[in-house]
Structure 1
Amino acid sequence: MEAIAKAHTNIALIKYWGKRDETLFLPMNSSLSITLDRFYTTTAVQFCSCLNKDVFLLNGQIASEAETMKIVAFLDHVRNIAGKNMYAIVNSVNKVPTAAGFASSASGFAALAAAATKAIGMDTDNKTLSQIARQGSGSACRSIYGGYVEWQKGEEVDGSDSFAKPISDKQDWNLSVLSCLVASNEKKVLSREGMKRTVETSPFYKGWLDTVEKDLVQAKRAIAERDFEMLGTVVEANALKMHATTLGANPPFMYWQSATLEVMEHVQQLRTSGIEAYFTIDAGPNVKVICHQKDEQAVLEHLATLPSVQNVYLCHPGPGISYLPDTATENGSKLFYKTYHQSNCENKTSHT
């Protein structure tokens, strides 16, 4: 019972900020994202009755206890749905640069959801897979699909109507996304804590909820009409509003650094000079810049000249979930994967 799946990371154009249910990962608002081609996670899952616990390998190494517990909790959810009680070896290779501003949890849990459900024998459609992935990481539900994706917040208390759906394929509008790495240190306020604090204490949060659905409608219209100026304008404004809510939290906090502001100002200067480019920022200091493909090299060269920019990663709209043959495991960890599995099976057999 083994399966290998590959999922790509995504960036939110219209942000998901705040949960109405912390356990089920149900969002306060709907969101919209682009799945990206450059960064991804490949995950192999094998369930076996001879194992006495779950084992998690990350990039060829046994993962920490904290990382493993997150995977165990997610596998418990899959086991509960499938009605089967077997442990698994999870072998995950993450091709997302550390602290580059791309949430590897999105690609990670999307790939895990796809591989685990297939390995345990479930026959899931993408809608169901999106619902399952959501309970590992909210944004993972969007990485099930490629291109432009909407995550519907839903209304039901059980989360049955909260899932992602594609709104435009990756080749329909092949924009460019440049991620500017300006800081690689761990942020002081993690996204989950930041959301919770903002929802509970920020007087600005109501304004966010009053306008975010309108932003979503405008962004979807812009994508349908291929109106880049409309899309860029609403995406930039939406990011600024999200970050404004954190300033009203108690205690207040800010994800930006001085370098963040420098990149934002530079992008606005590019527009003044005639190059269409817009920024967006997730819960961190690093800035994503969106532009037409014809302008991507010019934008990249301009951003790379800034002293505060450590690196610039160029991406385009990417694909959704895919399943790979069992020869696809990377970094030589396949050897450990099989050795560990064989050893545990043999040990159990020798004791029975």
Structure 2
Amino acid sequence: MTEIDFILKSYNTDIKGGSVKWESPSNIALVKYWGKKENQIPENPSISFTLTDCKTITEVTFSKKESNNFSFDIYFEGEKNEAFKPKIQTFFERIEVYMPFLKDYHFKIETSNTFPHSSGIASSASGMSAIALCLLSIEQKLSYTSNRGDLSYFDKKASFLARLGSGSACRSINGELVVWGKNKSTESSDLYGVKFDGKVHENFSNYQDTILLVDKGEKQVSSTIGHKLMYGHPFAKERFSQAHNNLEKLKTILASGDIKAFVKVVESEALTLHAMMMTSMPYFILMKPNTLQIINKIWEYRAENNSNVCFTLDAGANVHMLYPENEKENILEFIKNELVIYCQNGHYICDQIGLGANQIGF
């Protein structure tokens, strides 16, 4: 599908208002996306696990108005939040061509997270995807077109819109594994996320993700700025090529069930992501001392116990521990005994692979 396919051609102007509510999960990339072109197009493909419990819950109430401008209020965790308005304004400007009704209504956006905001758990992914899903449900209420009952179209447009709010948000619509970015080894698109089309061995069923919250504060450098620093980066070309190769490797690994090989690719990708940050200009480090302590503890534990646990990182200090479900009891004991001391206020979140977003209100 192309951008033109997502333009709403006509809609019912008589509907006065209503409300919709969605919950949308975060996701954790296995092959990382870092660097983007114009219009939120990725420089390299990525693949991610969709999570279950780390999610954003968003309700959008809309009411008819007369003025020809964007009108919206945002409430985060029950409090009116002006800081989020510029990002939503930019989002509305980007998607207006696809949703021409946006200036016809005032929108009250009420949102909350089940996890700390802006701490490297992809809150923008869950947040922007939840808003995109709400707006698309509103579009369906207004639309005359035959696409209203087409779930495939709905998912693709939701992912397409979410991408224009936050690149990684396009991977939060579906689960369990989602690919974003054109590549030769999987079905894919630069415009929206696509459910992974390859075989997945039972070794990766119900895979666990325990997130160790090393730092729950705002990141020193936003992901938006970090992506821009890939322009002119001395290692950018090799990094983009590496991502294509690692995605091809991972497709084979997921089919074979080779968890040892999975660990190598996933940890290498995490470290490469942060290496790009440390070698950009200006350079920056988002890992904290406790991030490194945890990584080394994981390596020691894996070697001593013949475990399949591994780590990955988003653009932040927190550590995602990925492991098979049959190791859950032992890993949680390991966390309580040896890793919780490195977590801010002893906090960590237990999660697992999920199936994507859900509508919870009409």
Same fold (TM over 0.5): yes
Tell me what 2:361 maps to: 325
| Distance apart, 1:101 and its partner CA | 2.9
Name which of 244, 249, 262 aligns with 1:218: 249
Does residue 46 of structure 2 align to residue 17 of structure 1? Answer: no
Name which of 89, 92, 114 aligns with 1:75: 92
Tell me what 1:149 maps to: 178
Structure 2 gaps, min length 5: 1-17
Tell me what 2:127 maps to: 108
Tell me what 1:308 maps to: 342
After TM superposition, list the pairs within 5 Å mapping 1:1-352 onto structure 2: 1-21=18-38, 24-50=39-65, 53-64=71-82, 66-84=83-101, 85-86=103-104, 87-120=106-139, 121-122=142-143, 123=148, 124-153=153-182, 161-167=190-196, 173-197=205-229, 199-273=230-304, 274-304=306-336, 305-306=338-339, 307-310=341-344, 311-326=347-362
Tell me what 2:13 maps to: none
User: SS of the counterpart of 2:136?
Assistant: helix
Structure 1 76/200 Cα, relative in aligned 2: closer, same or farther at 3 Å? closer
| Contact 1:101/1:181, CA 8 A, preserved across alignment | no
| Distance apart, 1:170 and its partner CA | 12
Tell me what 1:329 maps to: none
Deviation per residue, 1:26-55 (Å, 9 max, x gap): 110010101111111121223221376211
The alignment covers a number of residue pairs equal to: 319
Bigger drift between 38-47 and 129-138 goes to: 38-47
Structure 1 gaps, min length 5: 327-352
Tell me what 2:9 maps to: none
TM-score w.r.t. structure 2 length? 0.81
| Contact 1:176/1:292, CA 8 A, preserved across alignment | yes
| Contact 2:214/2:317, CA 8 A, preserved across alignment | yes
Structure 1 301/100 Cα, relative in aligned 2: closer, same or farther at 3 Å? farther
Q: Distance in 2 between matches of 1:48 and 1:80?
A: 20
| Distance apart, 1:200 and its partner CA | 2.6
Which letter maps to 2:42? P
Bigger drift between 230-239 and 117-126 goes to: 117-126
| Contact 1:303/1:309, CA 8 A, preserved across alignment | no
Q: Distance in 1 between matches of 2:355 and 2:212?
A: 22
TM-score w.r.t. structure 1 length? 0.84
| Contact 2:122/2:314, CA 8 A, preserved across alignment | no
Structure 1 117/77 Cα, relative in aligned 2: closer, same or farther at 3 Å? farther
Bigger drift between 46-55 and 84-93 goes to: 46-55
Q: Distance in 2 between matches of 1:265 and 1:148?
A: 27
| Contact 1:146/1:170, CA 8 A, preserved across alignment | no
Bigger drift between 46-55 and 10-19 goes to: 46-55
| Contact 1:170/1:317, CA 8 A, preserved across alignment | no
User: SS of the counterpart of 1:244?
Assistant: helix
Percent identity over paired residues: 30
Bigger drift between 46-55 and 292-301 goes to: 46-55
